[in-house]
Every structure is written in C-alpha cells, then in structure tokens.
Structure 1
C-alpha cells in the first residue's frame, strides 16, 4: 500500500522566528567585522613595508599581496552590506507583525468596551430616567426657594401701614433729633463768659465797715466778687 499511495512526509522542523533569524544575521555580521578588522591590520603592515622597501621587485611583490588582501576586504564588506539589508527587512517585518497584533488587541478592547457601554446605556443609564431626575431636582429646588422666602418674611410688620403717615412721622422725628443735637452742642451757662462783673461790695460782711479801696484805682475781683491779690 505504501508503494501505491506513498508515505506521508515527516513533519520538518518549525521555521525560525523573525527574532531568531535577526539574531543569526547579526552573528554573521559580527564575524565578518572581525575578518575585516584583521585584513585592515594586514594592509597596514604592507603599507609600512612599501615605505621602507627600496627594491622595485620587492615593492611589486608587496603591492600584489596588498591587492589580494584588499579584494578580500571588499568582498567581506559587500557581504556585510547584504546582511545588513536582510536584517533591516527582518526587523521591518517583525515590527509590522507587532504593530498588527497591537492593532488587533486595540480593536478587541474597543469592541468589548462598546458592548459594555451599550449594556450600561440600556440597563442602567436611560435617558428617560435622567430627564425625570432632572425634573424632580428642579421641582425640589423651587419648593426649597419658596420655603426660604416664607421664612424670610417679617411677621411683625403689618401690611396696611400708610406710607404717607410713615413719612410724616419720619420728618417729625428728624426735627426732634435736630433740636436735641442743638441742645447738646450748646455751652452751659456756668461756662459762658460774663459780659458784666458783679458790683463791688462796699462793706465787709458782719459789720466790719467799709471795704478799703486801693489808692491806685479800683480793686480787682474774681468772677465771684472776691478781691484778687496783685
């Protein structure tokens, strides 16, 4: 039967990942860099020999060897540039895959959030309930305002007072206050300066005879009629 239908091919090893491929290319580039550095050292030796060699035949031989080394160096540099291009493409592919996975994850999260939001809007957040709540709040605020206005009323003030009577009473009160202020501002009589002095006594109390008069003129007295010493 196996000869007629053949056998199934054995499964081969899994292909390397992009990370493994990039790592392998990077290792090959490092190996080439080591070889290029070694060839640079050889070229330096040949350049030094060319400076010190006098024989034309010896110089020609040294130049031939240096050209072979330089050709190998150029070959390695070309390989290194090719590997660098491969690694760049691998890194770009890896970046594209990571970006695609991140995009898929973002879309999945947005779908889940959209589904959850629809459920909330349908079950817990209805527009009719919000409108009803807003109306109830507005009604309660109006009632609260009415209560505050009622409490702020002055219950001791009657509503049937005539404003003309209040104005007349206010004018009379103003006149009384002006008179009262005028009396308060007046100087007491005992502090006012007298325009005329009391008459000088002509006799000493108790029958002591007449009051002597100074020869130089009238005796000075104080505000109580008593003589003042000079």
Structure 2
C-alpha cells in the first residue's frame, strides 16, 4: 500500500513565536543591509552628477539614480511591513506569556489554599475557639498575678488607731521644733555654746605701789 499510494508525510510542528520572531528579525537585518548599499550607490551618483555637466551623460546618471531610489523605496516599504509584523508578534508573545504567568499564579494559589486548609485541620492551635479560650486563660492569669502582687505588697505592724487629732498634735510639735531651730540660729544649740566667764575688775593702784617699789624722784 505504501508503494502504491506512498507514505503519509508527517506534518512538521508549527514554529514557535520565538522562531517566527527570529526569522522576521533576520529578514529585517537583510533588508537593512540592502538599504545601506543602495544609500551608498545614491551617494556616488550624487557626486557624479555634481561633477558632470548638463547633458546626456548627466541625464543617464539621473535615470540610474532614480532606479536605485525606487529600489530603496521598495525595500523601505518591505521593512515597514516587517516591523509591523514583528510588533504584532511581540504583542502576541507578551499575551501568551501573560496567560502562562496567570495560569502558574492560579496554580500556586490553589496549592497554597490546599496547604492552608490542611494546616487548619491538623493544628488545633489555629482553631478560633482554641485561640479565644487561650486569650481568656491569659487574662485570668494576669488578674491572678495582680492579686498576688497586691497581697505581697501589704505592710505589717502599722498602727491603725491614728486619728486626725494625733495628726494635728504631731504637726504642732514639728512646728515648735522648727521655731526653736530658727531661734538658735547659726550659733547652734545651747548645750554646745561655751559659757562667758566674768573676770573681776583690776584694782585702781599704781604699778609701783602694787610691787613695793620706791617712788622715782621727779627732777625740778
């Protein structure tokens, strides 16, 4: 059967967007090379036309230059078409990549959702009622700790029979002590001051008589 009808040819796989884009890029590069060559030819014709006098020779150069210019315009149109195709190709590639990224994102979110559900089922610590009970227990422990601290902070052996009259008497006594300190002043308390000694007055006698010395005769 294969000899009669021949074997069915296998279809070649469709080119990818990258392959098609690379092919368009290669064609665009070749067209740019052709345009550059034509530009160089036009520059040569321009110099020749300037150097040639008006006449048949100059007209022939102009015709050849027009032919080259038409070829350049044709290649420029082809390059513009290729640029549009490349732009559409890039847009399509961007759209495909965006769709692929979206699919991967959805798959990752789906897997994460499954993991979170499994964690919620396995770990009782993530149960809302368990967390509420834990918060209540912590609050009770905090209140109990405050009560214990208050009990430990109580003072002992402090008399409770002190009334307002005792307070006023204590304040009056303190006021008297302060007044006494002001009266004493900088000299200090009386028990620290030295007593003043009162000495007897000296007798009104001459020193000679007191010592029994003879009086000195005065010269006349």
- Shorter chain as denominator, the TM-score bin is 0.7 to 0.9
Q: Is 2:207 aligned against 1:208?
A: no
Please name the residue that 1:111 is paired with: 110
Secondary structure of 1:13's aligned partner: coil
Number of aligned positions between the proteins = 205
- Shift of the alpha carbon at 1:173? 3.2
Please name the residue that 1:133 is paired with: 134
In the alignment, the residues of structure 2 paired with residue 155 and residue 23 of structure 1 have an alpha-carbon distance, to the nearest angstrom, of 95
Could you report, residue by residue, the CA deviation over 1:130-157 in whole angstroms, capped at 9, with x for unpaired residues?
Answer: 1111111111111111111122222131
TM value normalised by structure 1 = 0.77
Unaligned stretches of 5+ residues in structure 2: 213-220
Equivalent positions of 1:54-69 (< 5 A) are: 54-69=53-68
In the alignment, the residues of structure 1 paired with residue 111 and residue 67 of structure 2 have an alpha-carbon distance, to the nearest angstrom, of 66
Please name the residue that 1:161 is paired with: 162
In the alignment, the residues of structure 2 paired with residue 8 and residue 138 of structure 1 have an alpha-carbon distance, to the nearest angstrom, of 84
Whether the 8 Å contact between 1:53 and 1:59 is mirrored in structure 2 is yes
Please name the residue that 1:41 is paired with: 40
TM value normalised by structure 2 = 0.80
Please name the residue that 2:77 is paired with: 78
- Shift of the alpha carbon at 1:175? 1.2
- Shift of the alpha carbon at 1:53? 1.1
Unaligned stretches of 5+ residues in structure 1: 211-230
Please name the residue that 1:174 is paired with: 175
Quick one: structure 1 residues 59 and 17, their matched pair in 2 at CA, closer, same or farther if it must change by over 3 Å?
A: same
Q: Is 2:86 aligned against 1:87?
A: yes
Please name the residue that 1:150 is paired with: 151
Quick one: structure 1 residues 36 and 152, their matched pair in 2 at CA, closer, same or farther if it must change by over 3 Å?
A: same
In the alignment, the residues of structure 2 paired with residue 26 and residue 149 of structure 1 have an alpha-carbon distance, to the nearest angstrom, of 85
- Shift of the alpha carbon at 1:186? 4.9
Q: Which structure's residues are more often helix, by fraction? A: 2
Could you report, residue by residue, the CA deviation over 1:32-73 in whole angstroms, capped at 9, with x for unpaired residues?
Answer: 111111111111111111111114111111111111111111
In the alignment, the residues of structure 1 paired with residue 73 and residue 67 of structure 2 have an alpha-carbon distance, to the nearest angstrom, of 10
- Shift of the alpha carbon at 1:84? 1.0
- Shift of the alpha carbon at 1:204? 7.8
In the alignment, the residues of structure 1 paired with residue 122 and residue 169 of structure 2 have an alpha-carbon distance, to the nearest angstrom, of 70
Whether the 8 Å contact between 1:203 and 1:209 is mirrored in structure 2 is no
CA RMSD in angstroms, aligned pairs only: 3.1
